[in-house]
A and B are shown apart, each in its own frame.
Chain A
Amino acid sequence: MRTRSASISAGIVAIALCLVPSVAASAAPYSVSAVSSTGDVTPNPQGEYTATLNGVEFGGSVSALAAAPGCSASDPATKRVNTWQRRNPSGVAKLECGNSGYGWRHIAAGKAQDWQNIINKYNLGTDWATFAKWNIGNTVGAPASAPYNSANQTYTYQAPLQIRNAQGQVVRTYTVKVPVGSTTERIITAFPS
């Protein structure tokens, strides 16, 4: 998803997934500005933020919540949900419905709440599935790194997900990780840490 949005509605948090090292906010314009050891700043519920990746703002829309949106109970594990170009190393990254062990159903069952927690904490006004896909696509498409593990034959695409306030200050940085099987190019999982 690459749309430009000048402003997301008031109270929405801005997120930036960038390839630059995070810079912890030192002077957040919040009434509450405690900074944790990880650089987290207590979000201002009235705060206004924007979401950007390489200069492109996050413009996610709201869609209905479902266990694994796009995958019905009768869909096979190998049904394709999405495909993204991945870079460094190049190829594609295939998101399939999967099952409890990999893919979209695995993410929905185990990591949807992690994505939702970020949305809720910073009033992003979107749903976990839209947000997770946006992060997956941008992480594999412009990773900060993608170390190869020969024992597991996986590339783990990684990129910093930066939460910025209206002043552009980074108030929190997560690391998005997307392990991909090197031979079948199937996405195993995707999570913020």
Chain B
Amino acid sequence: MSALERFVDHLRAVDHRNTFDSERGVIVVFGEGSDRNAEFTITDQSLGARLSALEESGRLIWPDVDAEVAAFRLLSVHLMEQVDTGNSDHYALDGSGTA
């Protein structure tokens, strides 16, 4: 199972409404407690870069889990934040954030 597949599983655990369209390479993420949602174009490479950037922060917030799980958690919080505060309904995930 790839990191992307594991991350999609995590997103579904966070909110069962979150989905992944493998053909389009797009995840759909819903805001916390809201019906707002947005699409994020994602690839194995962009996810890997983003997770690497978040591992240190994730470990500070959740020191009791491994680095990947901590980074999954932090990234999912960031994606929900983007959904709640952004003005678009489509973003592209990259190593430094979303655009």
Contact = CB atoms under 8 A, between A and B. Distances in A.
Interface of A: 77-78, 98-102, 106, 110-111, 114, 145, 147, 149-154, 156, 158, 177, 179, 181, 183-184, 186, 188-189, 191-193
Contact of B63 (A77, A106, A184): A184
Interface of B: 10, 13-14, 31-34, 53-54, 56-58, 60-64, 73-74, 76-78, 81, 84-85, 96-97
A105 to B, nearest CB: 10
Contacts of A145: 33
Nearest to A153: B62
Contact of B77 (A78, A147, A152): A152
Nearest first, the 6 A-B pairs at minimum CB distance are A101-B57, A193-B84, A151-B13, A181-B61, A151-B14, A152-B73
26 contacts: A99-B57, A101-B53, A101-B57, A101-B74, A102-B57, A102-B60, A102-B74, A145-B33, A149-B14, A150-B13, A151-B76, A152-B14, A152-B73, A152-B76, A153-B73, A154-B73, A158-B33, A177-B84, A183-B62, A183-B64, A184-B61, A184-B63, A186-B61, A189-B77, A192-B85, A193-B85
Contact of A147 (B10, B31, B32, B61): B32
Given A158-B33, A181-B61, A188-B74, A101 B54 contact: yes
Contacts of A192: 85
Contacts of A183: 62-64
Given A152-B73, A152-B77, A193 B31 contact: yes
A183 B78 CA distance: 19
A145 B32 CA distance: 12
Contact of A191 (B33, B60, B84): B84
